């Protein structure tokens, strides 16, 4: 239930959309600046860290810390300084005039002076046949959520980055065998993660291979898959180009996608906030968190196609709150000196 009473009429100083590590870090900074931020928790409250196991590289935790614990601590910390939390998904953002208006799926409208977009990114799907039908029925994007269902199974993990390695290592605790299916013959994962996966006795690799079709049904779950291979990699492209490829059918009880994430920016598509080709929020000079719309700031994975770490997301979250605070102060000074600031069109 919402912790804010009259959401449809009041105007907030700052609304933070997203409650992952970036949103929480922004909330701590904004709350400590007495901006009484409202943090809007979307469909994946707590963001990607809640789906991970141990976080080993967040400064200050030499023994590692559970992703869920880190998020819960961040939330407690933000609340301690006065941040409020509310559930809701933004369906439409009106950013041409201030206060900005955010229309939520619930029908509520939020109004705010400054907006921090910290909506993160969601798991990418690969486009295999039947994935729509079988997602959640043996096909998953989250090994930590669903791995325990696959005790004794043979499973596939798709991807060649750190996510895929992490998923495979986690699944190896339960599954009989884990096969990592990667579309090239070279991993994108960091050396340490790649080494752990390569050294694990239950984990093997299918190089230059992609997942074409998933077999099974919602009643029976995943029962197998059709893979396609080409010695030069990216076999699906080779299929499209009419090249000779090898097909293979495998029996598996589960399939996990670990192929990266897409930024959650659908609600910004029709606004003047600029997005890159992949949908990330573009910040003005790549250094600050300012976007093309005055008063809208980006933080975390939604604006960072490069680093995408918990620690960097926390960093940009704090930057966004500091930038928003400065921006609000400057507006207040300008209004005091010359009356209300004329609402302007968003920058081109």
Q: Which residues are catalytic?
A: 142, 145-146
Task: Quote the CA–CA distance of 281 and 113 in Å, as a whole number.
Answer: 19
> Which segments within 88-208 are labelled E, that is strand?
90-94, 100-104, 109-117, 121-123, 139-140, 154-158, 177-181, 203-206
**Token pair listed for 140:** 């998953």
**Beta carbons within 8 Å of 20's beta carbon, 6+ residues apart:** 44, 46, 47, 48, 49, 71, 118, 120, 300, 301, 313
The least distance separating ligand NDP from the CB of residue 167, rounded to whole angstroms, comes to 9
Task: Quote the CA–CA distance of 210 and 112 in Å, as a whole number.
Answer: 45
**Token pair listed for 340:** 């209300």
125 secondary structure, DSSP code: -
The least distance separating ligand NDP from the CB of residue 84, rounded to whole angstroms, comes to 30
Task: Quote the CA–CA distance of 162 and 126 in Å, as a whole number.
Answer: 17
Q: How many CB atoms lie within 10 A of CB 285?
A: 7
Question: Measured at CB, which residue is nearest to ligand NDP?
Answer: 161
Task: Quote the CA–CA distance of 42 and 8 in Å, as a whole number.
Answer: 18
The least distance separating ligand NDP from the CB of residue 166, rounded to whole angstroms, comes to 4
Q: How many CB atoms lie within 10 A of CB 129?
A: 14
Torsion angle of the four alpha carbons 98, 316, 167, 237, in this order, in degrees rounded to the nearest 10: 70
Task: Quote the CA–CA distance of 113 and 15 in Å, as a whole number.
Answer: 8
The least distance separating ligand NDP from the CB of residue 107, rounded to whole angstroms, comes to 34
The least distance separating ligand NDP from the CB of residue 254, rounded to whole angstroms, comes to 17
Q: Which residues bind ligand NDP (CB under 6 A)?
A: 124, 126, 158-164, 166, 183-184, 188, 190, 210, 258-261, 308
**Burial class for 306, CB neighbours closer than 10 Å (0-12, 13-18, 19+):** exposed
The least distance separating ligand NDP from the CB of residue 49, rounded to whole angstroms, comes to 10
Of 152, 157, 206, nearest to 176 (Cα)? Answer: 152
The least distance separating ligand NDP from the CB of residue 95, rounded to whole angstroms, comes to 29
Task: Indicate the residue among 6 and 63 with the shorter CB distance to ligand NDP.
Answer: 63
């Amino acid at each position: 239930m919402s912790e804010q009473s009259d959401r449809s009429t009041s105007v907030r100083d700052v609304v933070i959309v997203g409650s992952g590590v970036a949103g929480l870090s922004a909330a701590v900074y904004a709350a400590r600046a007495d901006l009484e931020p409202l943090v809007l928790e979307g469909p994946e409250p707590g963001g990607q860290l809640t789906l991970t196991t141990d976080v080993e590289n967040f400064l200050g935790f030499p023994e590692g810390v559970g992703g869920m614990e880190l998020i819960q601590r961040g939330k407690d910390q933000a609340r301690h300084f006065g941040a409020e939390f509310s559930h809701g998904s933004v369906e439409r953002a009106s950013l041409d005039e201030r206060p900005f208006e955010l229309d939520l799926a619930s029908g509520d409208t939020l109004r705010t002076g400054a907006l921090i977009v910290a909506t993160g990114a969601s798991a990418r799907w690969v486009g295999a046949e039947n994935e729509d039908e079988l997602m959640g029925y043996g096909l998953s994007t989250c090994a930590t959520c669903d791995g325990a269902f696959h005790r004794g199974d043979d499973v596939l993990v798709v991807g060649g980055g750190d996510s895929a390695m992490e998923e495979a290592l986690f699944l190896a605790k339960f599954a009989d065998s884990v096969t990592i299916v990667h579309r090239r013959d070279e991993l994108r994962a960091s050396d340490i993660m790649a080494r752990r996966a390569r050294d694990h006795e239950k984990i093997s690799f299918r190089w230059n291979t992609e997942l074409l079709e998933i077999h099974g049904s919602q009643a029976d779950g995943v029962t197998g898959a059709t893979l396609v291979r080409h010695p030069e990699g990216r076999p699906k492209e080779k299929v499209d180009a009419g090249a000779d490829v090898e097909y293979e059918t495998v029996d598996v009880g589960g399939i996990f996608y670990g192929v990266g994430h897409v930024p959650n920016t659908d609600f910004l598509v029709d606004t003047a906030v600029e997005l890159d080709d992949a949908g990330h929020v573009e910040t003005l000079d790549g250094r600050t968190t300012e976007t093309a719309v005055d008063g809208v700031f980006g933080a975390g994975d939604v604006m960072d196609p490069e680093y995408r770490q918990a620690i960097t997301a926390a960093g940009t979250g704090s930057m966004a709150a500091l930038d928003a605070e400065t921006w609000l102060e400057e507006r207040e000074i300008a209004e005091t000196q010359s009356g209300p600031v004329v609402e302007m069109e968003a920058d081109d």
